[in-house]
Structure 1
Amino acid sequence: MNRCCLALLLCTGLTTLAHASDADDRFKALYTKEWSWRQQQFGGLDDEDRQADPKDDHLPAVDAATQAKRLAYWDDVLKQLATIPAQQLSEENQVNLAVYRPQVENLAADIRFRGYEMPFNSDSQFWSDLGFMARRPLGDARAVRNYIAKLDDVPRYFEEQVANMRAGLARGFSVPRAVLDGRDVSIASYAGVKSPEDSEFYAPLKSLPATIPAGEQAALRKDAARAIREHVIPAYAKLLAFFRDEYVPHARETLAAEALPDGKAYYRQQIREYTTLDLDPEAIHAIGLKEVARIDAEMQATMKASGFKGDFAAFLEFLRKDPRFYAKTPDELLMHAAWIAKQVDAKIGRFIGTLPRGRFGIEPVPASIAPFWTAGRGSAQTYWVNTYDLPSRPLYNLPALTLHESSPGHSLQGALAEEQKQQPEFRSHNYISAYGEGWALYCEKLGKEMGIYHTPYEEFGRETYEMWRAARLVIDTGIHHKGWTRAQAIDYLASHTALSRHEVETEVDRYISWPGQALSYKLGEIRIVELRARAEKALGDKFDLRAFHDAILAEGSVPLPVLDQRIDAWIASRKAAAKS
């Protein structure tokens, strides 16, 4: 190669690097600024996965004017993103962009559809979510004072939520009336406390750190009691009156998301957000029916292996009624969950290469939300087990539930995400349902290889959980697209799974009031199973299961198409390494 050609090549390469650097710098500056702004916008909120900054001294604004400003901000971010040449970004930032852009698009779309006018569903509510900030320890006097300031801010926060809900009612954008019965119990549990010291919000004041002098501790406790007595309890009482006297009587009688204002577009957006796929409801319904038929055959075979002589309906009735399958006390249920989790601990290193340092605890679901909560839920810190109504919590389902919610499911996954330092915070602090729930459902199936299911009944419990998620594809699209009734959905879920009647009804109400979310589990799991099969076929005897799982988990929460691309790249790199 002559010197002129070499110089031209070097010049071209440096120009390319300059473009890449410029595009990367612009993208990083944009998402860094937006993420910082986003944290300020939603400061003060706490949930099972996110701990509010103890420096926050107020709850976020949720009024319509603030929402409009947020939409304008995110629309501007999207315009700026469109000017960044994606092909000039580094490979790492091309992945970051593929995660970031739909994240902002979903945030903007939710405001565009005015989703803030329906700030709760039968599973999750803004008034119950505030309880999470009372479940965190307060590290110093400043954190205590800021916590008290947030308690003082509850009335303003609730008033803005009520104004939004009134606007929703006025245009027919509400939670369906059919799922509202009894949902006031969670509000009443906060409004009906006898004294501030009995309130859940007083709990963190009972064990303040010794670094705060005794006299200051007493003053802080007195001030917290004042805030709860004068502001928190009255705010919940006022919300309770609104819910009973205004919201429930005027809530819409329809069920379908497509019956809402601009409902067809709204439901498709919910599908895109929760599945990260652009699938229409008919296609999802068909996938669900196919999966239901496949799993049904497996359940029939497991029933026969158990030695049961009756038909499928009789077997379900037997499982729901026989006392051997149910804990007699909440502690017994919790101890069973802990025993299963320890079995997983002994084997997890054979299936996951990179394990988190973080550990999770096992706690009962708080009484204020337990009646309408799921059987369990997991975060990096806690595996919540619902001990409410023990006859609806069968032990044969507990291995699958534990694998899903704790390790190697949500708790392990969440802890790895928290410890991930290489990715931007908009990735490490974000949760994409199709990825997260897909992984957790895959972990239920992985439990077979781990040897966690010891009896045909526990294997049937795993299958009934998989059927439950497949049936969701049919039920969610059935309700929100095909016009199914609540009774039709309940009958479908009850006849295909061994879930208790209580669980069946609370789950169906969840799907009715939370369109699209239920679709993420099975569609995500299907994709991960497909990716594993693809990797096994491509790599043959060079396939390493631990390395495959590490590759899945290392990506953090990503859309399914991105996961596809990343695992394809991982397969190619493993093949190249094997050849060399």
Structure 2
Amino acid sequence: MVKKHWAIIAGVSLLAPTSLTAQPVVATTPTPADRQLKAIYDAEWVWRQREFAQVSDGLRSESDDHFPAVTPADWARRRAYWQDVLTRITAIPAAELSPEERLNAAVLTESLRAEVANIDFRTYEAPLNSDSYFWGEVKPYAALENADDYRRYIGRLRDVPRWFDGNIANMRAGLARGFTPPRVTLAGRDKTIEAYTMTGAANPLFDPFKEMPASIPAAEQAQLRAQAQAAIDTRAAPAYAKLLVFFRGSYVPGARTTLSAAALPNGAAFYRSQIREYTTLDLSPEQIYRIGLSEVARIDRDMKATIAETGFKGTFPEFLAFLRSDPRFYAKTPDELLGFSALVAKRMDGRLKDVFTTLPRYRFTIQAVPEAIAPVYTSGRGGLAACLMNTYDLKSRPLYNLVSLTLHECVPGHSHQAAMALEAPDRPAFRRQTYFSGYGEGWGLYSEWLGTKLGMYRTPYEEFGRETFEMWRAARLVIDTGLHSMGWTRAQAIDYLASHTALAKLDVEIEVDRYISWPGQALAYKLGEMKMRELRAKAEAELGLRFDQRRFHDTLLNMGSVPLPTMEAEMLRWIAAEKARPASAG
């Protein structure tokens, strides 16, 4: 239910450096329709930056010195503005738009359609789920680079009480009408608030000030540190303490005891809307459920064949028990786990020339998930600046899964994808901050599968890890729709995921709680990957020996994050153009 408009969206950092210059789109003479559309989205972007408290400087985008306004009146005003934008875009003859502006229209229309729908469902009354929460957006996870960055951050620290109070008021309204995450999914989330209630330099909000750029004079550093400490001690920490009291004393006890999205106000329509938002497809829960069952059956056969390759003679449950208990599959220290992931990333670096014709200059690092959020955080998450790996509870982090996880989150998945987007053809600013899960997460899962073509899985156990990750995403199609439209229980969902994958018990429970509290989001991965593999298979069949996966991947990623139907239409155009190219063309 949570909607993120600032700092980090879907794990892809928006704090892009200014030093990397995007490549220009091939120039065409704008049509009158192009100019009309451009005037609309340029004005919307300026408005959006102001509304959501962001400042932009070239390719760099960061939060301003305050947080967005979140009152119901503010959301109603935004809805009216966005609906007017949609009406004006619809009035532009689509056939008169150039190819690039056709993409711009499709992206803005679908993203704003979802924004309007969420305001209609008043999703701002539940600004949290088991995976993401507004109070986690205060501390920046990308480096602050200059004194102005630090001053903006101090301003946000001072604004925390107002912002938290606005969100608490919305949460109270959600409580009153039963629009909350299920209570069971909120267990332990108070721990993510607790560390920020303390005063002094031990508060994690002070972390960015512990090591500051040498370009800031020492006297100015001392002044900024003193201002930050005062803002934390007198403003931010007390606001976190107030939130913690509300969360523990009122919100969790009052949260709904039902699980399904269908149990929410106008729940069936809300779930269909969430499916559309995250997959950008018009599929019913029943259709997705059937797709999931088919994929689960297929992958189950693959997994059993891989078990046979290992020489293991027991049953499938016995094999899972063996994997979960044998110490050879687990790192002994956080650095060992991070080192394994780094090795996978470096091995993949050696194959990138076979995957793309052009590589980005920007590089990511691999870091541990911050301790304050690690206990309830997912296994890993990749963004532009860093690929985070969870080193909490190492006995729940099998190394045989880490090949797939690194390919998905780091390279050629999300971190690499974010760098490609940064240096992609120059496009309107809104395109760089629009993220469609079906496209982005579909690429992440496609990256795992691509590893099979590149020799990344060295043992049957690592291949089983890939298959268990693929099964995990396929099982989501069954579990998400089962939970939100077919009356599944939490125990039923946990049993289904645990019995079909080699995921650790902790991960299984965290994942199921995520599906329960974030309806529809988990559907995007598998449906997006299936569409990409379907398009690749079509390209291979129609182009034969002329198929070049590098050109296919370049085209797929260089279009930027787009709705899946738009991606399909563009890739079909690419296939037709490749067929028409002279055989001697490079």
- TM bin (shorter chain): over 0.9
Query: Which has more helix, going by share of residues?
Result: 1
Shift of 1:52: 4.9
Is the counterpart of residue 137 in structure 1 residue 143 in structure 2? yes
Q: Name the counterpart of 1:400.
A: 404
Is the counterpart of residue 177 in structure 1 residue 177 in structure 2? no
Per-residue CA deviations over 1:295-331 (Å, capped at 9, x if unaligned) read: 0000000001101010000000000111110001111
Q: Which moved more, 1:537-546 or 1:88-97?
A: 88-97
Compared CA separation, residues 138 and 579, structure 1 to 2 (3 A): closer
In 1, Cα distance between equivalents of 2:333 and 2:144: 32
- 1:36 equivalent among 23, 42, 46: 46
- 1:118 equivalent among 115, 121, 126: 126
Q: Name the counterpart of 2:14.
A: none
In 2, Cα distance between equivalents of 1:555 and 1:212: 39
- 1:98 equivalent among 106, 117, 120: 106
> What SS class does the counterpart of residue 515 from structure 1 fall into?
coil
- 1:243 equivalent among 217, 240, 247: 247
Compared CA separation, residues 541 and 120, structure 1 to 2 (3 A): same
RMSD of equivalent CA atoms? 1.7
Q: Which has the higher contact order (CA 8 A, sep 6+)?
A: 2
Q: Which moved more, 1:370-379 or 1:347-356?
A: 347-356
Corresponding letter in the other structure for 2:571: I
Is the counterpart of residue 87 in structure 1 residue 87 in structure 2? no
Corresponding letter in the other structure for 2:142: R
Corresponding letter in the other structure for 2:179: F
- 1:547 equivalent among 536, 547, 551: 551
Q: Name the counterpart of 2:170.
A: 164
In 2, Cα distance between equivalents of 1:542 and 1:399: 30
- 2:527 equivalent among 517, 523, 529: 523
Is the counterpart of residue 267 in structure 1 residue 277 in structure 2? no
Is the counterpart of residue 467 in structure 1 residue 474 in structure 2? no
In 1, Cα distance between equivalents of 2:410 and 2:270: 33
Consecutive unaligned residues of structure 2, counting only runs of 5 or more, are: 1-27
Q: Name the counterpart of 1:333.
A: 337
> What SS class does the counterpart of residue 31 from structure 2 fall into?
helix
Is the counterpart of residue 229 in structure 1 residue 233 in structure 2? yes
Contact 1:338 1:362 in 2 (8 A): yes
Is the counterpart of residue 53 in structure 1 residue 62 in structure 2? yes
Shift of 1:229: 0.4
Shift of 1:211: 3.7
Contact 1:417 1:429 in 2 (8 A): no
Q: How does 1:487-526 map to 2 (within 5 A)?
A: 487-526=491-530
Q: How does 1:412-491 map to 2 (within 5 A)?
A: 412-491=416-495
Corresponding letter in the other structure for 1:339: L
Contact 2:471 2:501 in 1 (8 A): yes
In 2, Cα distance between equivalents of 1:204 and 1:502: 30
Give aligned pairs, total: 555
Corresponding letter in the other structure for 2:186: L
Contact 2:195 2:204 in 1 (8 A): no
Per-residue CA deviations over 1:241-293 (Å, capped at 9, x if unaligned) read: 00000001110111111111111111111000100100000000000000000
Q: Which moved more, 1:307-316 or 1:30-39?
A: 30-39
Is the counterpart of residue 349 in structure 1 residue 353 in structure 2? yes
- 1:291 equivalent among 295, 307, 328: 295
Compared CA separation, residues 519 and 285, structure 1 to 2 (3 A): same
Shift of 1:42: 1.4
Shift of 1:341: 0.7
Tell me which structure has the larger Cα radius of gyration. Answer: 1
Consecutive unaligned residues of structure 1, counting only runs of 5 or more, are: 1-16
Output the TM-score relative to the length of structure 2. 0.92
In 2, Cα distance between equivalents of 1:178 and 1:576: 56
Is the counterpart of residue 62 in structure 1 residue 70 in structure 2? yes
Shift of 1:171: 0.5
In 2, Cα distance between equivalents of 1:30 and 1:51: 22
- 2:135 equivalent among 121, 127, 148: 127
Corresponding letter in the other structure for 2:368: P
Q: Which moved more, 1:368-377 or 1:504-513?
A: 368-377
Contact 2:396 2:506 in 1 (8 A): yes
In 2, Cα distance between equivalents of 1:503 and 1:209: 37
In 2, Cα distance between equivalents of 1:319 and 1:457: 9
Q: Name the counterpart of 1:300.
A: 304
Q: Name the counterpart of 1:8.
A: none
Q: Name the counterpart of 1:6.
A: none
Contact 1:542 1:578 in 2 (8 A): no
- 1:187 equivalent among 175, 185, 193: 193
Compared CA separation, residues 21 and 44, structure 1 to 2 (3 A): closer
> What SS class does the counterpart of residue 92 from structure 2 fall into?
coil
Is the counterpart of residue 563 in structure 1 residue 567 in structure 2? yes
Per-residue CA deviations over 1:557-580 (Å, capped at 9, x if unaligned) read: 111111111111111111111368
Q: Name the counterpart of 2:21.
A: none
Percent same amino acid among aligned pairs?
A: 57
Output the TM-score relative to the length of structure 1. 0.93
Corresponding letter in the other structure for 2:128: F
